Amino acid sequence: MLDEILAGNCSDPPGFEFYHQKLDRHGAPASNELGLPLLDCCRGTNLTECVHKQIMATFGSWVTGVEMGDALLAWFRHCYNQHVSERRRLGFPVIGHPWTWLIDKIQELVRKNHNVDAYKGWSNESDYERTKESFGTLPLHSKALGDAVEAIDKTQLAGMDLTRGEKYIAERMGVKAPFLPVHSKAERQLFARLVAECKDSTLDFDKMAIEWCRSVDGKTIFPKLPVYLRTYHTAWQKNNAARDAAREAAAGAKVLTRINKITQRKPRQEEPGEGGPPAGSIVAQ
């Protein structure tokens, strides 16, 4: 039965293998104390959920900015990739720590002095050319939107005073002013005006983001990604619907308030003797 599982004949579709025998720290097939092979299953989202749990542990209850968040995720990726390589790459050395650049230095020094590898199966980062890949905060805007931000006159941004996080976002995205969600009163008013000026029944948030750049001042109005405008539009519609409902119900609310005031009046307190039998009347016993 085990051979059938390892061969993928139980639940693997043709051409795919979701079950593999685990490897121990020396790269040999792993078994438990009874000699039964230990299996790994990569079916479904098990591995993905495992990463999510570890990311939560990495951040914990911290409230971090964008730059700190990128740094934490970069360190997590490095450590995670190192541990996965130790578990799954056959012959990969187990060094016991994530400071791989120190191993690179040792490897280079031993090669230079003795012409051998200190760690067999280890690949030095310096032996490979760096790629153009980047991780963390990345440019998400289109070329047209990037050109629109680049076309903003410097005089419009003369008084721009960015926080460290905003400067980091702008630098990572390669723009002169950072993309930020709709948040200020001036931006809410600008959004309402652009929606009112739109003649199409369906809003084009890509075009709106480009048009938005004409009003950017770097103080109260900043560039927007289309997704920021689309997300705010949902909240804007809900707020408008609530205001319209309150306006339509205003007359009825006044009547209801008046009725409540009348019905909530306290009854007049009777004076002593009031409400009893008339004077001189005979009360049956």
Q: Where are the domains of the chain?
A: 89-124, 143-248
How confident is the model at residue 164, as a pLDDT? 93
* Portion of the chain with pLDDT greater than 90, in percent: 38
Taking CA atoms, 35 is separated from 6, 18, 29, 100, 121, in Å, by 16, 22, 11, 34, 28
User: How confident is the prediction for the chain on average, in pLDDT?
Assistant: 83
- Count Cβ neighbours within 10 Å for each residue of 131-156 and write b for 16 or more, e otherwise: eeeeeebeeebeeebeebbeebeeeb
Residue 92 has pLDDT above 70, yes or no: yes
Q: Which residue has the higher pLDDT, 58 or 163?
A: 163
Most confident of 10-19, 40-49, 123-132, 184-193: 184-193
Identify the band that residue 141 occupies on the pLDDT scale cut at 50, 70 and 90.
very high
